[in-house]
């Protein structure tokens, strides 16, 4: 890896993430209705959503080598416990509910894992401010 400063044309953001699915209509309903992502538009075999500054594209596999679950996508949320309750009420099944995963000096990392309608694993992620300062007291499980 090169330690030189990146060139001015270096990558500066993720513009779009593609998620392979076998049923675009079913996946569209899941991402729109269960997760609540803003739907942008649909095209032949594809659907697009806005997720903050990043666009999400759902599409049929364009070739056999692309017919597999996608990489894990972490969706940033506020009040992860409330989001889990809302999504469960919409029929989302969680593989792991909101759990404190990492305690950093200034924040606590909470994650919850679910599968979408196509079998892809997604995670909800919240970085909660650490109300204890640098280190939580011994035995404190939530931050």
CATH number for the domain formed by residue range(s) 72-143 = 3.10.180.10
Distance, CA of 8 to CA of 33 (rounded, Å)? 40
Given its phi and psi angles, is residue 119 left (phi above 0), alpha (psi -120 to 50 degrees) or beta?
left
Q: What is the pLDDT of residue 67?
A: 81
pLDDT one-digit tens code per residue, 52-76: 999 999 999 888 877 887 788 999 9
Domain boundaries along the sequence of the chain = 1-60, 72-143
pLDDT one-digit tens code per residue, 30-57: 999 999 999 999 999 999 999 999 999 9
Same fold, 1-60 and 72-143: yes
Q: Output the pTM of the full model.
A: 0.70
**Token pair 């001015």: residue:** 8
pLDDT one-digit tens code per residue, 117-133: 998 999 999 999 986 65
Which of 47, 39, 50 has its CA nearest to residue 23? 47
pLDDT one-digit tens code per residue, 132-143: 654 544 444 443
The CATH classification of domain 1-60, taken from the options 3.40.50.300, 3.20.20.210, 3.10.180.10, 3.40.50.2000: 3.10.180.10
């Amino acid at each position: 890896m090169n330690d030189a400063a990146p060139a001015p044309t270096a990558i500066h953001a993720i513009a779009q993430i593609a998620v392979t699915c076998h049923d675009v209509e079913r996946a569209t309903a899941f991402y729109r209705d269960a997760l609540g992502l803003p739907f942008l538009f649909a095209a032949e075999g594809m659907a697009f959503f806005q997720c903050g500054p990043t666009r999400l594209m759902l599409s049929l596999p364009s070739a056999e080598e692309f017919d597999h679950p996608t990489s894990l996508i972490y969706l940033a949320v506020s009040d992860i416990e409330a989001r889990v309750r809302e999504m469960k009420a919409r029929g989302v099944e969680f593989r792991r509910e909101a759990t404190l995963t990492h305690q950093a000096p200034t924040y606590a990392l909470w994650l919850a894992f679910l599968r979408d309608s196509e079998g892809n694993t997604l995670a909800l992620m919240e970085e909660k401010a650490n109300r204890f300062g640098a280190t939580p007291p011994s035995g404190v499980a939530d931050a």
